A and B are shown apart, each in its own frame.
Chain A
Amino acid sequence: MSAADGNGWINRDDQVRAHFDRMTRAYLLSILDDELIEEHRTGNGDHLSEPLSRLLAWCQRRPLSKQYAVKAEADGAFRLVSFSGRRGQPPRYIGDERYTTLQEARHGAFLRHIHDLTEK
Chain B
Amino acid sequence: MAQQKIFGYANRISVRPGEEISFHVNCDGASEADAQLVRLIHGDTGEAGPGHIEVEVDSPVNGRWTVKKQFTQLGSFLKVADPESKLAVAGDFSLMAFIWPTMPQRGSRQTILGRWDTLRNKGYALGINPAGHLEFWVGDGTEVDYVTAELPLLPKVWYLVGVSYNRETGRAELYQEGVLNRYNSLVGKVVPYDFASHVVQKFRFKPENEPDLPFIIAGALDEHALRGPFVNDLYAGKIDRPAIGNRALSRAEFDGCRHGGLPPAESVLAYWDTSRQYTANGVGHEVTDTGSHGLHARGFNHPVRAMTGWNWNGKDDCFRIDPSQFGGIEFHPDAVTDCGWEATNRMTIQDGLKSGIYAIRLRVGPGTGIAEEYIVFVVRPKTPTGKLCFLVPTASYLAYANEALSFDAQIIQPMTGQPPVVTDLDVETYEHREYGLSTYDHYEDDAGVCFSSYLRPIVNMRPKYRMSSMNITWQFPADLSIVAWIDHMGYDCDFITDEDLHREGVDLLRPYLCVITGTHPEYVSERMLDAQEDYVAGGGRLIYMGGNGYYWVVGFDSEMPACMEVRKLDSGMRAWAAKPGEHYLQTTGEKSGLWRNRGRAPQKLTGVGFIAEGFETSAPYRKMPDAWHRTVSWITEGIEGEVFGEMGLAYNAAAGVELDRYDLSLGTPPHTKIIASSGGHSDNYVLVTEELLYAYAGLTGSLDYRIRADMTYFTAPNDGAVFSTGSIAYGQALPANGFNNSAAHLLANVVNAFLKPGRLPGSNWTLEEKQWR
Contact = CB atoms under 8 A, between A and B. Distances in A.
B444 interface: yes
B682 A87 contact: no
B369 A91 contact: no
B418 A45 contact: yes
B188 to A, nearest CB: 16
A30 interface: no
Nearest to A83: B407
A103 B714 CA distance: 42
Contacts of B444: 87
Interface string A75-92: 000100101000111110
A64 B420 CA distance: 12
Interface stretch (B205-213, B409-417, B629-637): B409-417
B683 A53 contact: yes
A90 B431 contact: yes
A44 B417 CA distance: 12
Interface string A32-58: 000000000000111110000100110
Interface residues of A, number: 34
Interface string B94-137: 00000000011111000000000000000000000000100000
Given A45-B617, A45-B682, A74 B424 contact: yes
Contacts of B418: 45, 106
A8 B132 CA distance: 11
- B408, B420, B468, B471: most-surrounded residue (chain A CB, <10 A): B420
Nearest to B702: A47
B17 interface: no
Interface string B150-193: 00101100000000000000000000000000000000000000
B341 interface: no
Given A45-B417, A47-B682, A90 B410 contact: no
B414 A90 contact: no
Given A87-B444, A88-B430, A69 B417 contact: no
Contacts of A45: 417-418, 616-617, 682, 684
A60 B413 contact: yes
A74 B423 CA distance: 8
B560 interface: no
Contacts of A48: 682-683
Contact of A67 (B104, B419, B421, B468): B419
Contacts of B617: 44-46
A106 B106 contact: no
Interface string B360-378: 0000000011000000000
A74 B419 contact: no
B369 A7 contact: no
A70 B431 contact: no
A64 B410 contact: yes
Contacts, number: 85
A90 B406 contact: no
A87 B408 contact: yes
A91 B419 contact: no
A95 interface: no
Nearest to B410: A64
Given A46-B682, A74-B369, A109-B419, A91 B103 contact: no
Interface in B34-53: none
Contact of B422 (A63, A72, A74): A72
Interface in A68-120: 68-72, 74, 78, 81, 83, 87-91, 102, 106, 109
Nearest to A64: B410
B333 to A, nearest CB: 12
Interface string A6-42: 1110000000000000000000000000000000000
Given A47-B702, A90-B430, A91-B407, A70 B417 contact: no
B419 A106 contact: yes
A81 to B, nearest CB: 7
A48 B106 CA distance: 44
Nearest to A102: B421
A61 B414 contact: yes
Nearest to B408: A87
B433 interface: yes
A53 B369 CA distance: 35
B61 interface: no
7 contacts: A7-B132, A7-B154, A64-B409, A67-B410, A70-B421, A71-B421, A83-B406
Given A56-B417, A109-B419, 7 more contacts: A46-B682, A47-B702, A57-B414, A61-B413, A91-B407, A91-B427, A106-B419
Interface of A: 6-8, 44-48, 53, 56-57, 59-61, 63-64, 67-72, 74, 78, 81, 83, 87-91, 102, 106, 109
